[in-house]
Amino acid sequence: MTALLELRNCSKVYKSGFFSPKVTVALDDFSLTIDEANPTITAVVGESGSGKSTLGSLLMGFIGPSSGQVFYRGKDMTTLSGAERWQFRQDVQAIFQDPFAAYNPFYTVDHVLTVPIRKFGLARNKEEAREKMGEALRKVGLRPEEILGRYPHQLSGGQRQRIIVARAMLLKPKIIVADEPVSMVDASLRATILESIYTLHKELGVSVLYITHDLTTAYHVSNQIVVLYKGSVMEGGEVSNVVKQPQHPYTRLLIDSIPWPDVSLQWGKEPVIKDDGSSPTTTTGCKFASRCPHVMPKCREVAPTFFEVNSQQASACYLSESSPALAKSDLQRVLNKA
């Protein structure tokens, strides 16, 4: 069966400077498959600069890969016909980080809902359009009579973000790429937004790519997780395995840095080693070597392959060397078991 959306060995390289370009590898030989038959929520976590937003942009077709291919329903993205591209635009929807910048302040919030209805011809007349809008808003827990006809500045950040979720839902997409959907929303409102995304997944069978730096929300929402650092996958697998028994030092650092709402827990037991720049994104060794507390000489020479820690978890670190090695292309198999 052909996958709905597939990244095959995708890399994205940014160059800056004309005569001696400084090369930054934002995404390094990354593969991911999203099936239509088997909808999942995949969390992609990593700190700023780990390439997670580049990954999101690739999936949404905003940018093309420097090498490798992106396939949509088995066809290379660059060869899609107009009609197929239109279909792609409907199937893949986005939820962005900033609920303040997603709106044009001169239009009422109805605008973000009426435009897709008009463009994709989802309704025959105004009544039907209005009905559809109301239905979508109710699905995300908003009351249409409180929302429609208002301007963005009259609504709270949480409401605005939920309208964006409603818009994504309106088009009955197959995939939603949610790039840090809750990082700019109050902690107390995050739950409700994640809940509406989760409901979308459950009820409509939508696959979600949840891009975040917050492992706790990733743990609650997703089935499988991919931990990125400087464009490379450090660890991946079933989410509770990875979060509860992290094998890679980078995943451990991420988890250790979460400020837990528990006074008895000590924040940051493991020291954060600053990046001294000795492992640029173009290194052949492990990219995390310069910040790793367990670094070994071989880490700086050859990057470790994946080791299958258990059937649902793989870590790219020599610390897990005792486990069976796994080809890079087999990571998807481990993810699929989640």
**Candidate residues 20, 48, 81, 322; the one interacting with other proteins per rule CB under 8 A:** 48
What span, in angstroms and rounded, lies between the C-alpha atoms of 23 and 172?
39
**Candidate residues 96, 120, 151, 219; the one interacting with other proteins per rule CB under 8 A:** 219
DSSP string, 282-320: T-SS-TTGGG-TT--GGGGTS---EEEEETTEEE-SGGG
**Candidate residues 51, 144, 158, 173; the one interacting with other proteins per rule CB under 8 A:** 158
- Total number of residues shown for the chain: 338
Give the range of 45-53, 108-116, 160-168, 326-334 binding other proteins by CB under 8 A: 45-53
- The nearer residue to other proteins, 64 or 157, going by C-beta atoms, is 157
Which amino acid makes up residue 292? Answer: C
**H or E element at residue 37:** none
Using the rule CB under 8 A, is 186 a contact of other proteins? yes
Residues 294-323 that bind other proteins (CB under 8 A): none
Residues 71-130 that bind other proteins (CB under 8 A): none
Give the range of 6-14, 71-79, 109-117, 238-246 binding other proteins by CB under 8 A: 238-246
The least CB distance from residue 23 to other proteins, in Å, is 18
Which structure tokens are listed for 219?
């743990």
CB contact at 8 A, 173 and 92: yes
How far CA 159 is from CA of 103, 192, 290, 330, in Å, comes to: 12, 10, 42, 41
Residues 127-156 that bind other proteins (CB under 8 A): 141, 156
Using the rule CB under 8 A, is 257 a contact of other proteins? yes
The least CB distance from residue 255 to other proteins, in Å, is 9
187, burial (CB in 10 Å: exposed 0-12, middle 13-18, buried 19+): exposed
What span, in angstroms and rounded, lies between the C-alpha atoms of 80 and 91?
14
Using the rule CB under 8 A, is 17 a contact of other proteins? no
Q: Which residues bind other proteins (CB under 8 A)?
A: 47-49, 141, 156-159, 184, 186-192, 194-195, 198-199, 202, 213-217, 219-221, 240, 243-244, 253-254, 257-263, 265-269, 271-272
